[in-house]
Amino acid sequence: MICEAIRSKPKTIGTRLGTVGEVAYALAPKFVDQLLHAAYRFFPDSPAAAAGDEGADGAASARQVALASLLRGVHW
């Protein structure tokens, strides 16, 4: 994406998911905030961040993997 932007020099560059998110946030910001908060809460702290929580093994559930593949980005 970066190489294409350097080559063609478009006015804007972004993914389709980002564009959909931008439009959704313009139309219904509170709903998007709630949706992103729910996605954030879906992933518990890592074992390193849990610091002593023996129950956190770091293995991702099938639902977490599905959400991460659906919403690919820099955080997944």
Residue 24 within a domain: no
Between 1 and 32, residue with greater pLDDT: 32
Residue 44 within a domain: yes
Residue 17 within a domain: no
Residue 74 within a domain: yes
Residue 4 within a domain: no
Structure confidence by residue, pLDDT tens digits, 26-56: 999 999 999 888 888 877 777 776 665 554 5
The pLDDT of residue 54: 52
Q: Which domain holds residue 47?
A: 29-76
Residue 51 within a domain: yes
Residue 70 within a domain: yes
Residue 42 within a domain: yes
How many distinct structural domains can be found in the chain? 1
- Range of weakest confidence among 8-12, 16-20, 69-73: 69-73
Q: Does the pTM of the predicted model rise above 0.85? A: no
- Residue 58 CA to residue 63 CA, distance in Å, equals 14
- Residue 51 CA to residue 11 CA, distance in Å, equals 45
Residue in the block written with tokens 């219904």: 28
